Amino acid sequence: MFGLMQQHGLLISGLIEYAARYHGDTEIVSRRVEGDVHRSDWSTVERRARRVARVLDALEVAAGERVGTLAWNGYRHVELYYGVSGSARVLHMLNPRLHVDQIAWMINHADDKVLAFDATFAPIVQAVAPRCPGVRAWIVLADAVPEDLRAIPGMLAYETLLAAQDDLYVWPGFDENLASSMCYTSGTTGDPKAVLYSHRSTLLHAWGAALPDVMNIGARDAVLPVVPMFHVNAWGIPYTTAMVGAKLVLPGPALDGASLFALMDAEGVTFAAGVPTIWLGLLNQMQHEARKPQALRSVIIGGAAAPESMIAAFQDRWGVEVRHAWGMTEMSPLGTVCTLKHKHLALPAAQRMAVQTTQGRPLFGIDVRVVDADGRDLPWDGRAMGELLVRGPWIMADYYQSGKPSPLRDGWFPTGDVVTIDPDGYVRITDRSKDVIKSGGEWISSIEIENIAMAHPAVAMAACVAVPHPKWDERPLLVVVRKPGATLEAAELLAFYDGKVAKWWVPDDVLFVDAIPLGATGKMLKNRLREQLLPRA
């Protein structure tokens, strides 16, 4: 017997209609590429998103066709999020930090018909436009087309286009399983792979993200996604904030500690989300100012492992709650979040911290397993290391037109992350399967080695990579960037491992470098590092 309830589709347009109706005067504040601070609100964003839909009608972009964006976090990007997906087209966020060859490849692979871009990305557009004949219109997110872009065929200005349309547009209804947006993974080998999100998966993820043990945000919050809107929909924050009616604060290109501090402080930001490298900058600025941004109460650290020293600095020094989170482009991205349970609150500080350095437990909607190389389930004892498999309604079923069979195994997505799971379901990411160090048939967690190094006061950044070894196959080598002015030497740092890990986990050597290569999403590029260190024999 079926229930007798309405079949009302979960559509992205529903989010913006809700935000405009019930939180219309709640602000969207953006630091613009132009350098100034711009103020909008949910009602204005919704009205302008309707104009975006009208512009796409006028450009004859059909339902299901792709509209690319090359843009920072800003109000116009939010308008595109809603105008494109809400009108049944598919938003394709491109990462401007990638190489132009990759960007051109992605535009062509996705078959983008329109590409909207911030004026700062004009050089990228100039380089890719001749190679992307399928793009009918290039829309610069500005008042007018700058002089140096006028020669490109199909070049238009966003504000001129919007001004020429009215906002008499009614958001259409359609199947919630239709595609809403897409994003290419930041894979370091082979062609990038595209993940194609649906309206339903996006709304369910946004709902999950709002929960108290996840982002815990509501209408009284001011939320700053430092995570870019071109990387996994800024962890869904533009959707979750609309769902709960929060104020949205968007930093544009200025992601250094001083700029973030100033914006957070001025706009009363209560909650922010970003990768560890970003938080290093903010913590330095907090140290410099000897205070925190006035209203900041909580941050999510994800995308790469949060070192204990960083969690401790936020919490103990500044009283800012840290939630360590793990996810993937293929998972919209949220999978696990580390929020303590009641029983943890009474634990001694060191044991509480041991829980907080895990990537946390799955939120409702996500199922996890840890398996060995033969696919057999491993115990949830916090010790057995194996590959993490996941499934759930906002996890990818297949890549878009990859030309390969779906990577799913019996309905489970193999994450490529090596983990342990404890009896409460807290997952600890010990490595990417390609980064784990296999020494004498046993595994050494490169992330744990890095976290210990990061706890040393003279270390700014640390990467642990495997180097070939005649007896043990592989041994760990630690690569370290010292803090400015610090005089750390290898022996001192290696002695710092005493008593913290098994002796055979201690790196064989330390190499001091000026910089560790970072990828387009702020993660350490260990492949590149290995290539630099170990030129092909």
Site residues for ligand AMP per CB under 6 A: 185-186, 232, 302-305, 324-329, 333, 359, 415, 417, 429, 432, 521
Three-state secondary structure readout of 72-126: CCCHHHHHHHHHHHHCCCEEEECCCCCCHHHHHHHHHHHCEEEEEECHHHHHHHH
Q: Report which secondary-structure segment, H or E, holds 367.
A: strand 367-371
Q: Residue written as tokens 């740092």?
A: 493
Minimum CB distance to ligand AMP smaller for 45 or for 306: 306
Query: 427-432 and 194-198 as β-strands: parallel, antiparallel, unpaired?
Result: unpaired
CA 179 to centroid of chain Cα atoms: 20
- Report, in Å, the least distance between residue 519 CB and ligand AMP: 8
Minimum CB distance to ligand AMP smaller for 91 or for 325: 325
Q: Which of 162, 200, 173 minimizes the C-alpha distance to 49?
A: 162
- Report, in Å, the least distance between residue 329 CB and ligand AMP: 3
The pair of structure tokens assigned to 360 is 């946390």
- Taking phi over 0 as left and psi of -120 to 50 as alpha, with beta for the rest, 172 belongs to beta
Is residue 185 flagged as an active site residue?
Answer: yes
Burial of 520 (0-12, 13-18, 19+ CB in 10 A): middle
Q: Of the residues 17, 46, 330, 450, which is catalytic?
A: 330
Which strand ranges, in their side-by-side order, compose the sheet holding 112-117? 155-157, 137-140, 112-117, 66-70, 90-93, 179-184, 194-198
List C-alpha distances in Å: 93 to 31, 155, 181, 196, 249.
19, 19, 8, 11, 19
- Report, in Å, the least distance between residue 190 CB and ligand AMP: 14
Q: Of the residues 44, 160, 185, 277, which is catalytic?
A: 185
- Report, in Å, the least distance between residue 52 CB and ligand AMP: 27
Minimum CB distance to ligand AMP smaller for 14 or for 225: 225
Minimum CB distance to ligand AMP smaller for 192 or for 252: 192
Minimum CB distance to ligand AMP smaller for 102 or for 186: 186
Q: Rounded CA gap, 130 and 378, in Å?
A: 52
Is residue 443 flagged as an active site residue?
Answer: yes
- Report, in Å, the least distance between residue 418 CB and ligand AMP: 9
Q: Of the residues 160, 443, 474, 483, which is catalytic?
A: 443
Minimum CB distance to ligand AMP smaller for 269 or for 429: 429
Q: Of the residues 404, 438, 442, 489, which is catalytic?
A: 438
CB contact at 8 A, 397 and 406: yes
- Report, in Å, the least distance between residue 303 CB and ligand AMP: 5
Minimum CB distance to ligand AMP smaller for 41 or for 417: 417
Helices (H) and strands (E) in the chain, counts: 17, 25
Cis status of the peptide bond prior to 276, with omega within 30 of 0: no
For the chain, percent helix, then strand, then coil, each to nearest 5? 30, 25, 40
Three-state DSSP class for 389?
strand
Query: 298-302 and 271-274 as β-strands: parallel, antiparallel, unpaired?
Result: parallel
Q: Rounded CA gap, 206 and 9, in Å?
A: 15
- Report, in Å, the least distance between residue 124 CB and ligand AMP: 20
Minimum CB distance to ligand AMP smaller for 249 or for 388: 388
CB contact at 8 A, 247 and 29: yes
Minimum CB distance to ligand AMP smaller for 31 or for 92: 92
**Max alpha carbon distance in the chain (Å)?**
73
Minimum CB distance to ligand AMP smaller for 186 or for 339: 186
Is residue 247 flagged as an active site residue?
Answer: no
CB contact at 8 A, 302 and 275: yes
| Residues comprising the chain, all counted | 537
Q: Rounded CA gap, 389 and 370, in Å?
A: 6
The pair of structure tokens assigned to 416 is 């490529």
Q: Rounded CA gap, 137 and 149, in Å?
A: 13
User: Which residue of this chain has its Cβ atom nearest to ligand AMP in the complex?
Assistant: 329
Residue at 409: amino acid letter:
R
- Report, in Å, the least distance between residue 2 CB and ligand AMP: 38
- Report, in Å, the least distance between residue 287 CB and ligand AMP: 23
Catalytic residues: 185, 330, 438, 443
